[in-house]
Chains A and B, each alone.
Chain A
Amino acid sequence: MKTFLVRRFFAGILSLLGATFLVFGISQTTNDPLLLYAKPGGYGVSPEQVQALKEKLGIDRPVPVQYGLWLGRTLRGDLGNSILDEIPVTRKLRDRIPATMKLGIASWIVATLIGVPMGVLSAVKRATIWDYLGRGFALFGQAIPNFWLGIMLVLVFSVKLGWLPSATAGDGFISIKHMVLPVVVLGSATAAGYLRITRSAMLEVLDSEFVKMARSKGTGSSVVIWKHAFRNALIPPLTVSATLFAAFLTGALVIEQVFAWPGLGSLAVQAVLNIDFPLLSGITLFFVTIWVTINFLTDVAYVLIDPRIRLA
């Protein structure tokens, strides 16, 4: 088990390095960041100025060297300054993280509260109207393009009915009114994932010998479902949280764009469109760190919850 976790840990570190190096390499393949300052053949920038700028930004050195320097600075907690406005990347990230976290936590709670009970219901009441409703919801949630769902909800609830605001996070720490639509959009896809997994896990457990045994000795049906079956069926939905979180992160990129949500997703899109590479590297580092951490925690949870799981 230890070797398994150690291996996963190093795989995680490797992913982290790989992803940031990838972004780093790509950002440098073109000299575009320079063009943000100085368009050639238009603004009258002399070659000396270009050279000075290159030196200032440190992009006159080979990519691996730059990457090494960046890594060294990063380990000391300095992610450099954004090219666009010279604001430190760490500050930009710090400003944007809370909004994304709020959205993420709220969506995750909503998804869990909807997805897991509905999955149980749809497994227990198999082949009834509840099951069809649940499965229908799962199919919907996994097939619907989330940006489109967002836009359509804005159309109905903001444009036509005027009940909810269509964009931004609003004022104050938490503005429920502003959160409803993005949370519904992000939560529904995740809920669909939870539902599917909970349902199939429940079905499998309900079919097992110990549940039949519990039933046959006369245990009440709700005790069988919640105490015997549900507890054992919890493992797959718990351990799959990482994949669902992945879906959430990529969802945030798009959904924050739809709702002009002032989080990391919209910051990332801006950074991409401006080719602001210090900012991009910082955002990638943050996203991948979270991603890798959650993947690793999932692996740990796997081993802790169910030692029978083969350590592949």
Chain B
Amino acid sequence: MARAAQQGVATHARVAGPLAFPGRAVLSKLRRYPVLPGAALALLIISGVFAPWVAPRDPDEQTLRARGAPGFWDSQWYDENPRIEQRYFLGADHVGRDVLSRMIDGARISLLVVAVALGAGMTVGTALGLLAGFSGGIVDEVIGRVWDMWAAIPFLLIALIIAAVIGSSIPMLMGLLAMVSWSAFVRVVRAEVMSLKQRDYISQARVAGAGPVRIMWKHLLPNVISTVVVIATLRVGGLILAEASLSFLGVGIPNPQATWGKMVAEGREYLADAWWMSFWPGLAIFIVVMSLNFMGDWLRDRWDPRLRQL
């Protein structure tokens, strides 16, 4: 696997060779570092964190006069409706709320939900992986069986049922998404730990009197952390899609809070008259997930090429 990754780098270099034009240096930088995805994600995080200051309008403010107002691409509409002074950059929805502001507001909540879910799943998954790999035996067996069982459950259906029956709320959604995210970490961390624990330094730590908790925390965890980060970056896109799907099905974050998935769903009914209601939020999901996948691939190739088969 590592060899394949190295070859990947080599072919990239070869391809960059014949491109002899002034922008070449820029292009090869673009190829080597995920500049564009990085910029997209930075933009997302900044607008998410500073949502109230970045958003051009109040995301929940309804202006009936601006119902279904188009965005920057249709200046004719604004000429015909001179009473709307400030343009809606990405258009307005069916009750005259600003699509861009709602998207920025939605980014904030989605970021929060996904970050908490991923953090929780990462912690639990890594801990279980460490435990299974380090202790082996019955503990490993139990964790393995639970994992098997979990992997055989169609998550979206279960999440849908839980959210619909118990009622959806932000903590509930975080919990549900954490339940999807943990399993990705267990197997890989376990395999890694199993090979690490054969090393001399672990036996030496043991001889020096370190207990199992100390060995796991101080000697094993730092060695698997890069793998964990890589998996997290590879998984976060899927979580965003899962959150958007749940929102789309109507069991995500409760109203009136805007989320991207919900905005796409709302816009569906007005597709013929106001395509921008669905188009922009969906495009945002797409760009963010794609950027995250890019980042994940890049990090993996850099830090942990052995994970390539994932």
Chain A interface (Cβ < 8 Å from any Cβ of B): 8, 11-12, 14-16, 18-19, 22-23, 26-27, 29-30, 32, 126-127, 139-140, 142-145, 147-148, 151-152, 154-155, 159, 200, 203-204, 207, 236, 246, 249-250, 253-254, 257-258, 268-269, 272-273, 275, 280, 283-284, 287-288, 291-292, 295
Contact = CB atoms under 8 A, between A and B. Distances in A.
Contact of A144 (B154, B265, B286, B309): B286
A236 to B, nearest CB: 8
Contacts of B157: 249-250, 253, 268, 283-284, 287
Given A11-B149, A147-B248, A148-B282, 11 more contacts: A16-B152, A26-B165, A139-B290, A139-B294, A143-B237, A204-B4, A207-B3, A207-B4, A275-B165, A284-B158, A287-B154
A234 B18 CA distance: 34
B261 interface: yes
A151 B154 contact: no
Contacts of B250: 273
Nearest to A33: B165
B160 A269 contact: yes
9 contacts: A15-B151, A22-B158, A147-B244, A152-B279, A203-B4, A207-B4, A253-B157, A272-B160, A291-B153
Nearest to A204: B4
B58 interface: no
A21 B19 CA distance: 61
B218 interface: no
Given A19-B158, A159-B271, A273 B149 contact: no
A253 B245 CA distance: 9
B249 A127 contact: no
Contacts of B158: 19, 22-23, 284
B143 interface: no
B145 A14 contact: yes
A171 B286 CA distance: 34
A154 B156 contact: no
Given A11-B152, A143-B290, A254-B249, A284 B161 contact: yes
B153 A26 contact: no
Contacts of A288: 152-154
B20 interface: no
A292 B160 CA distance: 20
B4 A14 contact: no
A236 B294 CA distance: 22
Contacts of A250: 154-157, 245
B161 A151 contact: no
A292 B152 contact: yes
A11 B264 contact: no
Given A127-B15, A143-B237, A254 B278 contact: no
B160 A159 contact: no
A145 B149 contact: no
A147 B149 contact: no
Contacts of B148: 8, 11, 14-15
A143 B286 contact: yes
Contacts of B162: 26
Interface bracket on B? 35 or more
Contacts of B290: 139-140, 143
Contacts of B4: 200, 203-204, 207
B239 to A, nearest CB: 12
Interface string B94-120: 000000000000000000000000000
B308 interface: yes
A152 B279 CA distance: 7
Contact of A145 (B261, B267, B308): B261
A257 B264 CA distance: 13
B293 A139 contact: yes
Contacts of A155: 271, 275, 278-279
A241 B117 CA distance: 27
Interface string B50-78: 00000000000000000000000000000
A23 B161 contact: yes
Contacts of A246: 154
A27 B303 CA distance: 45
Contacts of B286: 143-145, 148
Contacts of B283: 148
Given A11-B149, A147-B245, A272-B164, A253 B264 contact: no
B293 A142 contact: yes
Contacts of B41: none
Nearest to B164: A272
A15 B153 CA distance: 7
Query: A12, A159, A200, A272 — which one has the most chain B CB atoms within 10 A of its CB?
Result: A272
Given A15-B149, A272-B160, A275-B164, A145 B244 contact: yes
Interface string B298-310: 0000000000110
B6 to A, nearest CB: 11
A191 to B, nearest CB: 16
B11 A253 contact: no
A292 B286 CA distance: 31
B44 interface: no
Contacts of A23: 158, 161
